[in-house]
Amino acid sequence: MRILGIDPGVATIGFGIIDADRQKNTLIRYGVISTPAGLPLSHRLRQIYADMQELIETFRPDEVAVEELFFTNNVTTGISVAHGRGVILLAAEQLGIPIFEYTPMQVKQAVAGYGKAEKKQVMLMTQRLLNMTQIPRPDDAADALAIAICHARAATSLLNRERIFDPKRYDTR
């Protein structure tokens, strides 16, 4: 199964693509989508949407895993990230790719074995689990890979394979 992990944002969106099976996760590609500062939000959102469509069409993931928003202090930044996250979800939905969402604590638990793990621990475990020679950079891309690994661990479980989201069940046309 090919998984596209996404760390949402507006200025920088991390992505990580892995192939997952029960025994092994294989790194395919990772990086970031960036939008230029100074552009109106609507232009940045349009660019994120177009780049997400291109990423999905190029790599043909079976499923998309996106981090749920978590913000405590800076609500303004959280709202802006929520706009970007909405566009990301829309792009995947319109292309018919099942979407799964995970909290930061779920991602840390799945990758590092502890829901309150430090960022460095998660990055080191991501490196190890994907047999990478270096810690993935930038941080947004590393986070996206961790999200993909989290979903791989959940999705390749026999218990979870039976509850896979079927987008046809929700088609209201």
Which tens digit of pLDDT belongs to each residue from 140-154? 999 999 999 999 998
Q: Is 54 a catalytic residue?
A: no
Structure confidence by residue, pLDDT tens digits, 116-143: 899 999 999 999 999 999 999 999 999 9
CB 13, CB 84: distance < 8 Å: yes
E strands along 21-157, which residues?
A: 25-34, 63-67, 99-102
DSSP state of 52: H
Peptide bond into 104 cis (omega under 30): no
CB 156, CB 1: distance < 8 Å: yes
Alpha-carbon span 19 to 84, nearest angstrom: 25
CATH architecture for segment(s) 2-161? 2-Layer Sandwich (3.30)
Q: How confident is the model at residue 23 (pLDDT cuts 50, 70, 90)?
A: confident
Mean pLDDT (whole number) for 95-110: 95
Q: Is 67 a catalytic residue?
A: yes
Out of 19, 54, 63, 67, pick the active-site residue. 67
Out of 19, 57, 68, 140, pick the active-site residue. 140
Alpha-carbon span 146 to 152, nearest angstrom: 10
Q: How confident is the model at residue 158 (pLDDT cuts 50, 70, 90)?
A: low
Out of 7, 51, 63, 143, pick the active-site residue. 7
Tell me how far the alpha carbon of residue 158 is from its chain's centroid.
Answer: 22
Highest mean pLDDT among 65-79, 106-120, 159-173 belongs to: 106-120
Structure confidence by residue, pLDDT tens digits, 29-87: 999 999 999 999 999 999 999 999 999 999 999 999 999 976 666 566 678 789 999 99
Q: Is 143 a catalytic residue?
A: no
Q: Residue 8's pLDDT is what? A: 95
